[in-house]
Structure 1
């Protein structure tokens, strides 16, 4: 990653020495590789750090409302656009697909423009996509606007852990916790507030969806401030060429990278199944629709405090395997309860599933800990999240198919249990105290 790229994220760096001639790969980090931290100097350093924190929080708040607000108004959107059931079902799978496809592009964009610039553009894409899609006219325009917003979410998903590693290398856990908590809060707020806000704004689903663009537009501002601090000239010779700013890491040859990718994919599968199908499980067991919605809200709300605490705890441990096992056991207990007594113990199962879903912030924390440099984190983040989201696509669809053909929840829940076992296994492997640079 070029040194100008890092200037996008923070205060001006000290002058760099000319690039050394190419040397035999000994496993050492290249002289022009991304430094472990953007150098801080001068009176502006303190407030710039505050701007970075504000940018992280605001960006994280915007990583899910474009999705969960649509879920809250999906019936109205279908009726308003004349959308078929097939297309509506496709909409539920589009986020994971876009996260995978656009996530792979994030490292190249970061090398060319810098992580800060790409996250800024990502927030702008979310704002434009969210405000345009309800008024684009017809289903194709709605899908195009959604894809634009999801592209912005995807690149930001990948690069925000890089920003944390760059600015806060000694506080990866706490900062990931803050970022994860804001993400969970944004998810819950959009799910809870979209319907009442729509009613308060006149009852139009178009306005109810578009209003979330204001939050994304607000998130652009701190990243614009950081872009204005971009160092104008003086890049080290050769640092603008792709590849010279990164250590020679072959990410697909790293067992740790693959373990993280599979762990990320399986935890995402579990989360999407929970969000998509848990209310239906409760309703089929005799729980009212209103109570089933509240139970899902409880499950999602568990992520707000736990997403703040869990990364802090994980960063203090040499091996995060015990946390993986603990979260997995909660998931297995929750699934067992949903099978044996879904209505009788509904609140307990909702709490257990909420705890289990906190494998997401744990995965983000491990991404930041499994590489020595921001250059390695951007590769690992892109690989683990993109491959992981690809893995997650079939799960919710398969649960729906099993439910439809079996007429009950026995087989779908058996599938959920079956997926949790390998999630625990690969999570333990991903939690080992090693870095991908050591596996070159």
Structure 2
């Protein structure tokens, strides 16, 4: 990324030197445009990183304090399971709107609105009063997360078409870092701030507010074209968009959607319930939060490495299988010895959670054009999150009615098998444009 910026700065210097030449054939406009593009590219990178940091704290901070929230709001186990199902439901409902909103307002402006919604939702929900208000404010924050989830691969594809792997890795690494940080520090931060779970949840609104700032120029520049289209890509984006592309005709799109849905099921069960599994096994609350953080922080290095490796392979199936085996081993550990081998199971499940950056990378690889990526991203994520909705809810119901974690963990392990199968199918070297055309 630094080399990219260096080349941009070199071109800026060369263009500026050209402006001082007396030759009448030289125009100052390219130099200004190059400088603007270099600055905007840096702003886009900052926006991507800050936005990614905010795409999971709304969920993992709640997972760390779920018991306190349940007691404070009087939730049953089934209602708490419903609460953990709200994220995929919102992602499915609102994510499908993202491409249409991006075409009308620009992807950068939509992400800016998304970060604003996250800020408002996180600030309101602890003080909304009652379960219904808590769910409504959570839905507002999750709406912002949903549209940003879908549009991040689109922004990466348009701004960095030759660096999809490295930029997806940077985005995924920031996402994992935000996820892990929220899981690790929410409980001790809540204690330091007086012990109120409301304060412990509301404080994350500050991080979301910071993510609004890099996207504000996208809103101001809308009259001249969206920020990511400010380099002259607006015309190309309109030309390359295939109006007749029917994404549902693509077997790869369906395989990727199911893979996305099953990995999301595992991820939201983990984020919503893993800390509680450890706490019920006798692990202290603060340690349980750290174990969840370990699971999430595994994605920081791996989320940067896996996309880069995946883009160098013609078939991503081997990575899918390796991730799945780690997940099966982690679930087996949770079933037989949840407390004694807790740190090992947290690490293994952290590797299994890296199916998410792999899925994002495959979204960018399975379509040739930016428009194709937008359609595939919306389809795979919306359909995938619909598939994932019953999982966390079913875990809550099984836990409440069985009185233990044996059946829920068996369900998690059972879902890993089809995830591996469809992941191998989604990893084949094909594009949705070709399959949809046929």
Normalising by the smaller structure, the TM-score range is 0.7 to 0.9
Note if 1:184 corresponds to 2:176.
yes
Partner of 2:34: 42
Q: Is the 8 Å Cα contact of residues 263 and 423 (structure 1) preserved in structure 2?
A: yes
The correspondence of residues 212-223 of structure 1 with structure 2, limited to 5 A, is 212-223=204-215
Note if 1:391 corresponds to 2:387.
yes
Q: Is the 8 Å Cα contact of residues 262 and 426 (structure 1) preserved in structure 2?
A: yes
Q: Is the 8 Å Cα contact of residues 48 and 226 (structure 1) preserved in structure 2?
A: no
Could you tell me which runs of 5 or more consecutive residues in structure 1 were left unpaired when the two chains were aligned: 1-39
Partner of 1:350: 346
Q: Which has the higher helix share?
A: 2
Secondary structure of 1:42's match?
helix
Q: Is the 8 Å Cα contact of residues 306 and 357 (structure 2) preserved in structure 1?
A: yes
The correspondence of residues 416-431 of structure 1 with structure 2, limited to 5 A, is 416-431=412-427
When residues 374 and 214 of structure 1 are mapped into structure 2, their CA distance, relative to the original with a 3 A threshold, is: same
| Aligned-residue RMSD, C-alpha | 2.7
Q: Is the 8 Å Cα contact of residues 181 and 307 (structure 1) preserved in structure 2?
A: yes
Q: How many residues align?
A: 397
When residues 432 and 161 of structure 1 are mapped into structure 2, their CA distance, relative to the original with a 3 A threshold, is: same
Note if 1:302 corresponds to 2:298.
yes
Secondary structure of 2:224's match?
coil
Note if 1:92 corresponds to 2:84.
yes
CA distance in 2, matches of 1:41, 1:141: 48
CA distance in 2, matches of 1:122, 1:429: 32
CA distance in 1, matches of 2:165, 2:103: 25
When residues 263 and 145 of structure 1 are mapped into structure 2, their CA distance, relative to the original with a 3 A threshold, is: same
CA distance in 1, matches of 2:225, 2:152: 25
The correspondence of residues 173-212 of structure 1 with structure 2, limited to 5 A, is 173-212=165-204
The farther-off stretch of 270-279 and 294-303 is 270-279
Partner of 2:28: none
Partner of 2:378: 382
CA distance in 2, matches of 1:82, 1:403: 17
When residues 416 and 199 of structure 1 are mapped into structure 2, their CA distance, relative to the original with a 3 A threshold, is: closer
CA distance in 1, matches of 2:269, 2:290: 17
Per-residue CA deviations over 1:97-142 (Å, capped at 9, x if unaligned) read 1011001111111121111111111011111111122333443333
| Superposed displacement of residue 359, structure 1 | 0.5
Q: Is the 8 Å Cα contact of residues 262 and 387 (structure 1) preserved in structure 2?
A: yes
| Superposed displacement of residue 329, structure 1 | 1.3
Note if 1:436 corresponds to 2:428.
no
Per-residue CA deviations over 1:40-70 (Å, capped at 9, x if unaligned) read 9422222211111000000001111122222
The correspondence of residues 275-290 of structure 1 with structure 2, limited to 5 A, is 275-282=271-278, 287=283, 289-290=285-286
